[in-house]
Chains A and B, each alone.
Chain A
Amino acid sequence: MISIENLAKDYNGTRVVDGVSMQIEGNSITVIVGTSGSGKSTLLRMINRLVEPSAGRVLIEGRDTREEPAHLLRRRIGYAIQGHGLFPHRTVEENIATVPRLLGWSASRISERVAELLTVFQLEPKTYARAFPHELSGGQAQRVGVARALAAEPAVLLMDEPFGALDPIIRAKAQEDLLDIQRRYGTTILLVTHDMDEAFHLGDRVGVMSGGRLLQYDTPERLLTHPADPLVARMTGLTDRAMRLLSLTTAAALAAPGSCAGPRIAASASLREALSELLWSGSEAGLVIEADGSPRGIVTVAAILAHGRPA
């Protein structure tokens, strides 16, 4: 768990982060969203002390981050950035091994870990271990960047616009991968983005920042149904907030017992996708199907519409 207490940063008399306090739960994904210049990147970089706070403090598992030298702290915290920042003169294997090497892991442990991560990130070790970054596609380089950040099994992973440079299709895939990785390793992830859809899709909790202040920090549902500030309501999207709300719940959650002849809807699909499918096929109800092919129940247009209204 990460506690941020009254954190502030001044640059030449300008306050870019203004008294932010928040509790980040362990084993979850927290997303900070804001426009450029909102101070979200600075907030993130104060956690691993790439930026030293002007005031306030950060506790990780109850320990003040200032208790140890900054570079030692950073070896315990994963860090992935936009445009990946891979070392161009080192192979994929060497890039991923960066932090384990700094920590003095044995060669056999390092090569085991590198092979494991390459497999997890769907990069065939034989083909990619000895490749140089310039030989990779954008999506592959981004995955190597995240693999490098996770190499030393950090409990906390910080990500600064990690998918910002990817095209929409690769980006969606990278987001799914990140959710899998989080479940697999139980890492506490703090991600910064300007993309509200990405924030809602990934975040267990979402913090909205503007002008250096944390306007609201809450679950995606609560941000939509109970915005604490007009700016939050505007940023979360006044015109399509009902659809956003629907995209936060899966069809499985709304499935009622029964059977029907309507279209088949995957249990993992969001209500937004389910509604779209029902509208397209002109059906009143659809059959929710589990990943293993067994029916879960039915979901009706009426039930979905009811769910799209704030409680």
Chain B
Amino acid sequence: MRFATVLRALALALLLSFLIAPQRFAPLFAPLTQYGAPPIYDQGNLLSLALAHLVTVCVAAAASTVVAVGLGILVTRPAGRQFLPLSRTLVNVGQTFPPVAVLAVTVPLVGFGEKPTLIALFAYGLLPIFENTIVALQTAPPAVLEAASGMGMSGLQKLVSVELPLAMPLILEGIRLSLVINVGTATIGSTVAAKGLGEVIIAGLLSNNTAFILQGGLVTGLMAVLLYDALVALERRVTRTVQA
């Protein structure tokens, strides 16, 4: 546990120091360049690209969470049960439809920039949150639900004060999966002029600069790993108070 904490702190320190002062790492990347090409990405500020990348992913995940959890609640109520197959189909389409194809379809509708990327990430991130919400709400202990009704809670009171708190660890797990997948997927947004770390990778591909590609990939990867870790820690905290 201690070793993992140290490792995590080191990874965070490495990521931040690279984003704040990338030029210091130039000697490290220099052997990967040819014909005197710049070893560190120089067509934009890496820190602001990373932040823009993170913001895009988080906004998309927030939207996915609201819709997926809302749908999950709806289809587990007696009145909404008949919408379960339809909702599941829609959400599955969001996951099977490749994000690149979503971009191709949405660019003509909403134009270049962040919007098509947000739509693609939103659709791609729905499935894990939706499925986890449903499983969590459907597997709540029957005796606990029976007690909640027997005590005289209304449907809404039962949902807010019993069902959702008990479902929280699984819902958070769904959000985590969705976020981490999308940190990587968001790089394709740069093909339609969304600000993000994909820019660095694409610049590398265009100019045949392996150093750029590696930088974009490593920063994205480190962000995904750290985000994953942070959310696991949060889930553990929540689970401790919810465990049966």
Residues of A within 8 A of B244 (CB): 88, 133-134
Residues of B within 8 A of A187 (CB): none
A217 at the interface (CB under 8 A from B): no
The interface-forming segment of B15-23, B110-118, B119-127, B148-156 is B148-156
Known: A87-B162, A88-B166. A72 touches B147 (CB 8 A): no
Q: Within residues 58 to 101 of chain A, which ones have a CB less than 8 A from any CB in chain B? A: 71-76, 79, 81-89, 98-99
How far is A74 from B146 in the complex, measured between Cα atoms in Å? 12
Q: How far is the CB of A151 from chain B (nearest CB, A)?
A: 9
Residues of A within 8 A of B144 (CB): 85-88
Q: Within residues 136 to 184 of chain A, which ones have a CB less than 8 A from any CB in chain B? A: 145, 148, 158
Chain A interface, number of residues (Cβ within 8 angstroms)? 27
Residues of A within 8 A of B166 (CB): 88-89
Residues of A within 8 A of B160 (CB): none
A300 at the interface (CB under 8 A from B): no
- Please determine whether B147 and A81 come into contact, CB atoms closer than 8 angstroms: yes
- Please determine whether A50 and B165 come into contact, CB atoms closer than 8 angstroms: no
- Please determine whether A102 and B157 come into contact, CB atoms closer than 8 angstroms: yes
Q: How far is the CB of B202 from chain A (nearest CB, A)?
A: 47
B241 at the interface (CB under 8 A from A): yes
Number of A-B contacts (CB under 8 A): 67
Known: A87-B144, A89-B165. A79 touches B150 (CB 8 A): yes
> Chain A binding site: helix, strand, loop or mixed by DSSP?
mixed
Q: How far is the CB of B167 from chain A (nearest CB, A)?
A: 11
Q: Which of A76, A79, A89, A102 interacts with B147 by CB under 8 Å? A: A79
- Please determine whether B147 and A75 come into contact, CB atoms closer than 8 angstroms: no
- Please determine whether A79 and B151 come into contact, CB atoms closer than 8 angstroms: yes
Among residues of A, the one whose C-beta sits closest to the C-beta of B144 is A85
- Please determine whether B162 and A74 come into contact, CB atoms closer than 8 angstroms: no
Give a binary string over A95-135; 1 marks a CB under 8 Å from any B CB, 0 the rest: 00011001000000000000000000000000000001110
Q: Which of B150, B154, B242 interacts with A48 by CB under 8 Å? A: B150
Give the residue among B152, B154, B241 with the most A Cβ atoms within 10 A.
B152
Residues of B within 8 A of A71 (CB): 149, 152-154
Q: Which of A50, A86, A87, A132 interacts with B149 by CB under 8 Å? A: A50
Known: A50-B150, A74-B151, A75-B152. A83 touches B242 (CB 8 A): no
- Please determine whether A82 and B152 come into contact, CB atoms closer than 8 angstroms: no
Q: How far is the CB of A33 from chain B (nearest CB, A)?
A: 21
Interface residues of A (CB under 8 A from B): 48, 50, 71-76, 79, 81-89, 98-99, 102, 132-134, 145, 148, 158
If A74-B151, A89-B166 are given as contacts, then 14 extra A-B residue pairs at C-beta distance below 8 Å, sorted by A number, are: A50-B149, A74-B152, A79-B151, A83-B143, A85-B144, A85-B147, A87-B144, A87-B162, A88-B166, A99-B151, A99-B152, A102-B153, A148-B151, A158-B150
